[in-house]
Amino acid sequence: MTQFKRLSRRQLIRATGASAAFVAAPQILRQTAEAQEQTLFVNTWGGSWTAAEETAYFKPFTEKTGIKVRTVAPVSFAKLKAQVQSKVYEWDVSNAGVVEYSQAVVEGLLEPVDKSIVDPAKFPPGNVVDYGVAGVSLGTCLVYRKDKFPNGGPQSWADFWDVKKFPGNRSLYNRSFTNLAFALLADGVPADKLYPMDLDRAFKKLDQIKPHIKVWWTQGNQSQQLIQDGEVDMIAMWNARAQEMIDRGSPFQIVWNGAENYGGYWYVPKGAPRAKLAFQFLEFVSQPKPQADFVNILPYGPPHPKAFDFISKETASKMPTAPDNLRVSHVPDANWLAPRLPEIRERFSQWLAS
Amino acid sequence: MAGVVAAPAGQAGLAAAPARGLPADSTPWLLLAPATLALVILFLLPIGYVLLLSVTDPAVSIAHYRRIFSVPLYTRVLFNTFTTALTVTGVCLLLGYPVAYVMARRSDWVSTALLICVAVCFWTGFIVRTYAWLVILGNKGPVVAVYQAFGFGAPPRLLFTTFSSILGMVHILLPYMVLALYSVMKKIDPNLLRASASLGARPAASFRAVYLPLTLPGVVNGSILVFTICLGFFITPILLGTPKDMMISQLINQQIEELLAWGFASAVAVVLLVATSIVLAVYNRFAGLDRLWG
């Protein structure tokens, strides 16, 4: 009995080791195979965003270069820091908004662009920067329900603030600097004078609208549900999210006047082992044609002006980088915001909670 | 499981082979080693690292802690987190106890039906359940429809209030409470209640003197489970509540994900951990955590 039990214990250990190796083997083999085939791991948002990237970027890129693309979702800014610190890389490419990009540059988390692969001279100014290439931009716009305002709805942030002339429930996006800029615009500050920001003035103006904001939304689908169900009559939301529902027949109006045009960058984490492949990918997504393919699926703004050669006039008018829309929009000043963001975020959270 | 099965075998093995050079009393330690090792590697080391980060990132100082206690936001949100968790635990206990009682005392289809309801609830994702409340309490939802059908006019604001936030969290955490209570109640011998009745106790006295004390381990177990899980919640209050219902984990998440301020986030996490430990220590003083295991 004793003998048998002791033997079985050893056997158990041996069996455990063997089965562990057995379980891990396909993983190890797959990794080796992928290394030979050259696979790039891209960090992406998932859902319809990734589906559009698949069509516009990943498939054509693989056809052109033979480099396979695998995706990891969702986008995590914190993962960037974790990867660079631990030197264990789950993905080689990701994208971030201009403010996050600036934060990452300050923290030294990004790999400088390999200019031998991505030549800045071949692209419009500003499309290739020190640590990344420009991605599509996103408009955060005033959107209202046409059925609630049959005689014309709010046309500016000053109108949004005017609760007497435009009564109704309102919602804003829970992002500090976005609301601070809207408040300053509502207070009469011209778009080109938003920065450096007069924070006290902005918070004072926000005080006026706070009792009328039913929800401060945090997630894209939340914003869609709020206006779709009529919980609110006007909202600050992402243009592509609003457009998606307008295309399905919702009675919404997008107001481009005063919109925030929030650009982003593709980047490579510092020390990423497949950086060479990653920069080949960055070079590919900087071309006008793939950008046009992407925004023809989802109406974000392509950074390359030539992309509009492949986009119909009607589709272009829905994009944040269309000239008419761009003229009435403003761009957050990432260089001013990035170092001040912790203080601004804290003050905004405190203001919200009190 | 494996440890329990191996225990007698290990002892027998050592007794039969004293020449193996291990002192006999080392066996419990050897058996505990894998669990201890896992606990140290997966739990204590990370917590130690968080503690270290909170005073070293980006520089060696206690500035993070000073900031937590000097900026009103953090203490206010911390306080709100604990009062919310306490409220949710109390409501879960009040609602869950009768349900678990019926489940445990009856052995017919009612018990099975209730168990299925609780289990389905338990296995449905909490995001889905939170969004369900957005629909139920929303402008086009059934609550408003019923309200208006009876001609009461405009319904009171239900959604985006502290009430809806608490309601959502209670809904998500109730199954934990019910299952914790049920597992204890199911083991109570019904003959004990019959015995107390035969000795002259009325049902209420019988419940108070016999049944309730026997279910206390379940009450303690369920309350701690619900309370500690609730402390870490933040999506439900964001989606259903007001900005005043902000929970501390939302601020920690912001610091980690948006600001990459891991040192400060660690300091907030440490303060949360210490505060939780104090609450549990006080609880232990009065209720006894050893009841957790029945």
Q: What CATH number does residue A243 fall under?
A: 3.40.190.10
Which residues of chain B neighbour A82 with C-beta distances below 8 Å?
Answer: none
Is A330 within the bounds of a domain?
no
Q: Determine the pLDDT at residue A221.
A: 87
> A26 in a domain, yes or no?
no
Confidence of residue B288 (pLDDT cuts 50, 70, 90): low
pLDDT score of A189 more than 60: yes
Residue B12 has pLDDT above 60, yes or no: no
Question: Residue A235's pLDDT is what?
Answer: 98
**Cis-peptide, bond into residue A303, ω within 30° of zero:** no
Q: Is residue A143 part of a domain?
A: yes
Chain A interface, best mutation among B251, B259, B262, B268, by max A CB count within 10 A: B259
Q: How are the residues of chain B apportioned to helix, strand and coil, as percentages rounded to the nearest 5? A: 80, 0, 20
A19 within domain boundaries: no
Of B80, B123, B86, nearest in space to B226 by CA: B86
Q: Is residue A30 part of a domain?
A: no
Residue of B124, B154, B163, B158 lying closest to B244 (CA atoms): B163
Mean pLDDT of A114-138: 96
Q: Are B144 and A231 in contact (CB under 8 A)?
A: no
Region B188-195: mean pLDDT is: 91
pLDDT of residue A20: 52
Residue A31 in any domain: the answer is no
What pLDDT score does A251 carry?
Answer: 97
Collapsing DSSP to helix, strand or coil, A253 comes out as strand
Mutation choice for B interface testing from A231, A337, A341 by most B CBs within 10 A = A231
Q: Is A2 on the interface with B (CB under 8 A)?
A: yes
* Beta-carbon separation of B13 and A342 below 8 A: no
- Please tell me whether the interface predicted TM-score (ipTM) of this complex is above 0.85: no
pLDDT attached to residue B291: 58
Checking if the pLDDT of A236 tops 50, the result is yes
Mean pLDDT (whole number) for B181-209: 92
Q: How many domains is chain A partitioned into structurally?
A: 2
A131 and A142 fall within a common domain: no
Give the model's pLDDT for residue B293.
Answer: 55
**pLDDT at residue A46 greater than cutoff 50:** yes
- B9 pLDDT band (50/70/90 cuts)? very low
Q: At residue A184, does pLDDT exceed 90?
A: yes
pLDDT attached to residue A29 = 52
Which pLDDT value is given to residue A208?
Answer: 97
pLDDT above 90: percentage of residues in chain B? 64
Sign for the pseudo-dihedral over CA of B51, B54, B60, B65 = negative
Residue A268: name the closest of A259, A281, A258, A287 by CA.
Answer: A281
Single pTM value for the model: 0.83
Whether residue A22 has pLDDT greater than 70: no
Q: Are residues A250 and A268 in the same domain?
A: no
Residues of chain B in contact with residue A148, where contact means CB-CB under 8 angstroms, are: none
Phi, psi values for residue A246, rounded to 5°: -65, -40
**Confidence band, pLDDT 50/70/90 cuts, at residue B290:** low
**Quick one: A278 and A156 in the same domain?**
no
Task: Please give the residue range of the domain that contains residue A306.
Answer: 38-136+264-321
A294 and A310 share one domain = yes
Could you report the per-residue pLDDT of B250-275, keeping only the tens digit for each?
Answer: 999 999 998 999 999 999 999 999 99
Residue corresponding to tokens 């939304």: A217
Q: Answer yes or no: do A306 and A256 share one domain.
A: no
Same domain membership, residue A123 and residue A84 = yes
Residue B12 has its nearest CB partner, among A2, A349, A350, at: A2
What's the confidence (pLDDT) of residue A275?
Answer: 96
Same domain, A97 and A121: yes
- Cβ–Cβ gap A345/B258 under 8 Å: yes
Minimum Cα–Cα distance from A343: chain B residue: B259
A24 domain residue, yes or no = no
> What value does the mean pLDDT take over residues A172-192?
97
Hey, are the CB atoms on B131 and A81 less than 8 Å from each other?
A: no
Predicted confidence band of residue A25 (pLDDT cuts 50, 70, 90)? low
Same domain, yes or no: A213 and A232: yes
Nearest residue on chain B to A107, judged by CA atoms? B260
CB contact under 8 A, B259 and A222: no
Please tell me the distance in Å from A214's CA to the nearest CA on chain B: 7
How confident is the model over A146-158, as pLDDT tens digits?
Answer: 999 999 999 999 9
pLDDT of residue A30: 53
What pLDDT does B144 receive? 86
Q: Which residues on A lie below 8 Å from B258 (Cβ)?
A: 77, 100, 341, 345
pLDDT at B158: 87
Strands A252-262 and A138-145: antiparallel
H/E element, A293: helix A288-297
* Chain-chain contact of B258 with A77 (C-beta, under 8 angstroms): yes
A209 and A348 belong to one structural domain: yes
Chain A residues with CB-CB distance to B76 below 8 A: 353-354
Whether residue A279 sits in one domain with residue A248: no
Q: Tell me the chain A residues in contact with residue B7 when contact means C-beta distances shorter than 8 Å.
A: none
Cis amide prior to A74 (ω within 30 degrees): yes
Give tens-digit pLDDT for A311-344. Answer: 999 999 999 999 899 999 999 999 999 999 999 9
Give B156 or A78, the one with higher predicted confidence: A78
Same structural domain, A213 and A73 = no
Per-chain mean pLDDT for chain B: 87
| A135 contact partners, CB below 8 Å, separation of at least 6 | A95, A263, A264, A265, A266, A285, A303
Instruction: Let me know if residue A268 belongs to a domain.
Output: yes
E strand or H helix at A138:
strand A138-145
In Å, how far is B227's CA from the nearest CA of chain A?
22
A172 and A235, same structural domain? yes
Band of pLDDT at residue B285, cut at 50, 70 and 90: confident
Domains in chain B, please, with CATH? 81-242 (1.10.3720.10)
The answer on pLDDT for A174 being more than 80 is yes
| Residue A186 pLDDT | 98
Query: For residue B292, what pLDDT band results from cuts at 50, 70 and 90?
Result: low
Question: pLDDT, tens digit, for every residue of B219-231?
Answer: 988 999 999 999 9
Please write the tens of the pLDDT for every residue from B201-220. 999 999 999 999 999 889 98
Residue-wise pLDDT tens digits, B83-125? 999 999 999 999 999 999 999 988 889 999 999 999 998 899 8
Residue B235 has pLDDT above 70, yes or no: yes
